[in-house]
Structure 1
Amino acid sequence: IVLVQGDTTTTMATCLAAYYHKITVGHVEAGLRTGNIYSPWPEEINRKIATAIATYHFAPTDRARKNLIDEHVPAEKIFVTGNTVVDALQYVTKKINSDTRLRTQLLSQFSYIDPHKKLILVTGHRRENFGDGFKNICQAIATISKRKDVQIIYPVHLNPNVKIPVESMLSGLPNVHLIDPLDYVPFVYLMSQAYLILTDSGGVQEEAPSLGKPVLVMRNATERPEIIESGAGIVVGTSCEKIVSEVNELLNNQDKHSKMSFIHNPYGDGKASIRIVDKLEEI
């Protein structure tokens, strides 16, 4: 059996390679859907191809399971496990909290963080946001940065469609730190220090609630509607006005921020990997 995870193009290609060799495929994080093949692009089609090829489907939620059943996947081949991203996050968080040397290194790496300001962590890389979308996002960040009570950290994706507009519009602004992309451990540390997170990422939508961080989703649609329905996240799209409005609301309204921070993450309890292994052993 070949196990694939998520909705990247490498996941799709691996499914095809396994299919050509007549090897059984198991898909982890199966059943996520927006219903729009161009949002996110190309991930929506990648995961639909994975579903078409896979024999075993490890869905993170009941909603994802229903999506698969609606596409005529046999119910007995679908297993609701939670998502492994939550497992990884909990593992790394425990490591950061228990390893004094590691924590000292992280404190040194991010020594410029001002504990007296509210930290906003930004990530952005989504293809459908290239062009005007990223320009709007950058304009929103520039506007928010004028507040004296915030600090913005943005690990900038290396894709020129991201890097060029971000650096041209945000370099040198007060309260904005543009940094190189991060490995997972320091990124988890930054998430843990953030007051709120602005992102167009899929995985971050699951990680943020696990850490008690409100997440604003800079996309027009999300394949993770459970986050929005639970109240842990808000879809803001790439409208400059909407992004600025929702960020200011969370910065100014402590009650709203607290309410979003204490919502249970619908994507798992950190035991997805164990459930997947147990099912594979049964198979």
Structure 2
Amino acid sequence: MSRPWIDVVYGTRPEAVKCAPLVAELRRRASARTTVTVTGQHRQMADEVNASFGITPDVDLDVFRSGASLAETSSAIFGALAHRWAEAAPDAVVVQGDTASAALAAVAAYYAGSRVIHLEAGLRSGDLRSPFPEEGNRRLIAPVASLHLAPTDSAAANLRAEGVAPDDIVVTGNTGIDALHWQRTHPQRFDDPAMEEVVHGWDRLVLVTVHRRESWGGPLARVVAAVAETVTARSDVVAVLPMHPNPRVRREVVAAVGETDRVILCEPLPYAQFGRLLARAHCVVTDSGGVQEEAPALGVPALVVRDTTERGEGVEAGAARLIGTRREVVAAELAALLDDPAAHARMSRARELYGDGRAAPRAADAIERLLGLARAHSLAG
């Protein structure tokens, strides 16, 4: 009897980071044939993550084209996956999170007759326009998924409230925390010697990651300008902003930074190097979902420059603050973390809000049960 076939599909760097621990666990067990299909959206960044975790994709759809619209990229992903699975469909397809890769792969797998497994299921902001298009993407996946791997109890509650059968939901923790644990045991020196000087030469470092589509055309520039203003007023503070590869994001960031010499713009950092920079940071200003999970695990206060968040656990625990994108608010909140040691201390206690580093084994156990495989591994945790 042949082993079941599981195809894990992803395209962006965050997806690669969170899928890598599960791919490694499934391949270690070898109870199913596990393949990796990449769409090619974040070419260099996702390739770097795959290489770090020793993953060589089985298929590269190579659909990304510079300047393509969201609809054009989505159409290309859907068509390429339909062609890939036309002759033989996987027994199950794993998608992660809320990207176009995840949503289109879930629908294509459903059309092909495969069971859809949603890793990091159940996150909800409650606003279809924020974050856009992520909130819509994850809501599209839920109705076609056979197994919902929820990272937290609140994510599982969201799914139950939408009518998902409780037996189809498993709370695993977030595999991003598994990846973070791996990264901390594999520290890397920075490729750029100047970054080593920044890390060792400044008392306080503010890490900034901004790229969200709903922030284009004003909000993103306001956030960056607020950081530049606040950092410039404090002689012992430096900010580092790894720039997203999207040309529009880069143009807005560069224009907002202006002549400020203590907001250092750099290329996207390899995963392990970014983790080292985050661990060193005094605080982080971010609109990234993954950073909202990683920062509390490292005891780094997070200022979330969005109007909504699907990761409310950090806000409720006091490890993150949801502050929006108004320039004066961002400047005031960042100043408080830089000038008030008590405020910083309240947010900087390390917390296991999103997982304990054992999400991948729990997810693999659930997948084996879904596929009717012998339970060779006891349920972790």
* Same fold at TM > 0.5: yes
Give the distance between the partners of 1:31 and 1:211, measured in 2 at CA.
24
Q: 1:142-199, CA deviations, whole angstroms, 9 ceiling, x for partnerless residues?
A: 2112121210000111223211121122143121100011221111111011110000
8 A contact 1:39–1:128 mirrored in 2? yes
SS at match of 2:265: strand
User: In the alignment, what sits opposite 2:352?
Assistant: 265
User: In the alignment, what sits opposite 1:197?
Assistant: 284
Q: Give the structure, 1 or 2, with the largest relative contact order (CA under 8 Å, sep 6 or more).
A: 1
Give the distance between the partners of 1:239 and 1:245, measured in 2 at CA.
10
User: In the alignment, what sits opposite 1:67?
Assistant: 158
User: In the alignment, what sits opposite 1:55?
Assistant: 146
The count of corresponding residues between Structure 1 and Structure 2 is 277
8 A contact 1:145–1:173 mirrored in 2? no
Q: 1:47-88, CA deviations, whole angstroms, 9 ceiling, x for partnerless residues?
A: 011111101000011110110001000001000110000000
Q: Answer yes or no: is 1:136 the counterpart of 2:222.
A: yes
User: In the alignment, what sits opposite 2:264?
Assistant: 177
Give the distance between the partners of 1:132 and 1:206, measured in 2 at CA.
26
User: In the alignment, what sits opposite 1:4?
Assistant: 95
Give the distance between the partners of 1:10 and 1:49, measured in 2 at CA.
12
User: In the alignment, what sits opposite 1:17?
Assistant: 108
8 A contact 1:34–1:222 mirrored in 2? yes
SS at match of 1:178: strand
User: In the alignment, what sits opposite 1:99?
Assistant: none
Give the distance between the partners of 1:249 and 1:74, measured in 2 at CA.
44
User: In the alignment, what sits opposite 2:67?
Assistant: none
Q: Answer yes or no: is 1:119 the counterpart of 2:210.
A: no
Q: Answer yes or no: is 1:45 the counterpart of 2:131.
A: no
Give the distance between the partners of 1:179 and 1:250, measured in 2 at CA.
24
With over 3 angstroms needed to count, the CA separation of the structure-2 counterparts of 1:141 and 1:262, relative to structure 1, is: same
- What 5-or-longer segments of structure 2 have no aligned partner? 1-91, 371-381
SS at match of 1:119: strand
Alignment partner of 2:312 out of 210, 213, 225: 225
User: In the alignment, what sits opposite 2:33?
Assistant: none
Deviation for aligned residue 1:107? 8.2
Give the distance between the partners of 2:191 and 2:349, measured in 1 at CA.
26
Give the distance between the partners of 1:173 and 1:117, measured in 2 at CA.
18
8 A contact 2:207–2:241 mirrored in 1? yes
Q: Answer yes or no: is 1:161 the counterpart of 2:248.
A: yes
Bigger mean CA offset, 253-262 vs 6-15? 253-262
Q: 1:71-113, CA deviations, whole angstroms, 9 ceiling, x for partnerless residues?
A: 00000100011000000011011111xxxxx34x568362231
Bigger mean CA offset, 155-164 vs 267-276? 155-164
Bigger mean CA offset, 126-135 vs 108-117? 108-117
SS at match of 1:273: helix
SS at match of 2:186: helix
Give the distance between the partners of 2:294 and 2:256, measured in 1 at CA.
28
Please give the root-mean-square deviation of Cα atoms over the aligned residues, in Å: 1.4
Bigger mean CA offset, 260-269 vs 224-233? 260-269
Alignment partner of 1:30 out of 121, 141, 156: 121
Bigger mean CA offset, 121-130 vs 140-149? 140-149
Q: Report the residue type matching 1:224 in the other structure.
A: R
Q: Report the residue type matching 2:218 in the other structure.
A: D
Moved over 4 A (4+): none
- What 5-or-longer segments of structure 1 have no aligned partner? 97-101
Deviation for aligned residue 1:115? 3.4
Q: 1:210-260, CA deviations, whole angstroms, 9 ceiling, x for partnerless residues?
A: 111000000000000111001000011101111111111111111221221
Give the distance between the partners of 2:192 and 2:244, measured in 1 at CA.
23
Q: 1:1-59, CA deviations, whole angstroms, 9 ceiling, x for partnerless residues?
A: 11111111000010011011010011010000011110000000100111111010000
8 A contact 1:69–1:75 mirrored in 2? yes
Larger radius of gyration: 2
User: TM-score, length-normalised on structure 1?
Assistant: 0.94
Alignment partner of 2:363 out of 266, 276, 281: 276
Q: Report the residue type matching 2:307 in the other structure.
A: N
Q: Report the residue type matching 1:269 in the other structure.
A: D
Q: Report the residue type matching 1:117 in the other structure.
A: D
Bigger mean CA offset, 109-118 vs 40-49? 109-118
SS at match of 1:268: coil
SS at match of 1:145: helix
Bigger mean CA offset, 260-269 vs 243-252? 260-269
8 A contact 1:34–1:221 mirrored in 2? yes
Give the distance between the partners of 1:230 and 1:253, measured in 2 at CA.
19
Deviation for aligned residue 1:132? 1.2
Q: Report the residue type matching 1:33 in the other structure.
A: R
